[in-house]
Chains A and B, each alone.
Chain A
Amino acid sequence: DAKTTQPPSMDCAEGRAANLPCNHSTISGNEYVYWYRQIHSQGPQYIIHGLKNNETNEMASLIITEDRKSSTLILPHATLRDTAVYYCIAHGSSNTGKLIFGQGTTLQVKP
């Protein structure tokens, strides 16, 4: 699975959009980009994933660049409950269920 790089921390004002970047320059053609978050040391929670098209669900949007070397997770209207560590993971379609986590980005949403 490709290595991912994320900034260690970010701040966002409550109600504003939070844009979390992820670099995955060595991603291969069959690897998906997954995002998880972890709130207060609970178990990680799935947010969204994509292969090459932009994706949106009820939690977030995922924008993947055309060359697939980077992506951005967008929380459109951040709330205090979105304060968490966000992990970007590049994961192959073979999907043996093993995930390689990096350090993630700690997002602090401020009132």
Chain B
Amino acid sequence: NAGVTQTPKFQVLKTGQSMTLQCAQDMNHEYMSWYRQDPGMGLRLIHYSVGAGITDQGEVPNGYNVSRSTTEDFPLRLLSAAPSQTSVYFCASTPRVMDTEAFFGQGTRLTVV
């Protein structure tokens, strides 16, 4: 199993550009979520999904869109990138089982200039 795979690992965008951060998991986990981490801060929840076709907002959803058409994939879209979105982005997946941990990808480091 590859676990949770995020692509790309690094990205530089110009203000106003759009892009999609990819997240894929091969563990058949029902739950997936996106976080951002700014320097010196803890992770903050952007969006999450409890299954294919179901998504919901987290703590900091503005400026980001998500969709979940398959169990495996949970892409995060930036429609018009802003410098305030410069951050490290983490994707996580969790099985729908009580009393179990989340599995995280290795992150995408995004810089918006």
Contact = CB atoms under 8 A, between A and B. Distances in A.
Interface string B72-113: 000000000000000010101110111111111111000000
A85 B40 CA distance: 10
B41 interface: yes
Interface residues of A, number: 25
A103 interface: yes
Contact of A43 (B42, B97, B98, B105): B105
Size category of the binding interface on chain B: 35 or more
Contacts of A99: 33, 35, 43, 45, 92, 102
Contacts of B88: 41
A81 interface: no
Contacts of B21: none
B45 A34 contact: no
Nearest to A48: B101
A97 B101 contact: no
A93 B99 contact: yes
Given A41-B107, A44-B104, A49-B101, A98 B44 contact: no
B27 interface: no
Interface of A: 32, 34, 36, 41-46, 49, 51, 85, 87, 93-104
16 contacts: A32-B99, A36-B101, A41-B37, A42-B107, A43-B106, A44-B90, A46-B103, A49-B101, A85-B42, A93-B99, A95-B94, A98-B58, A99-B35, A99-B102, A103-B41, A104-B42
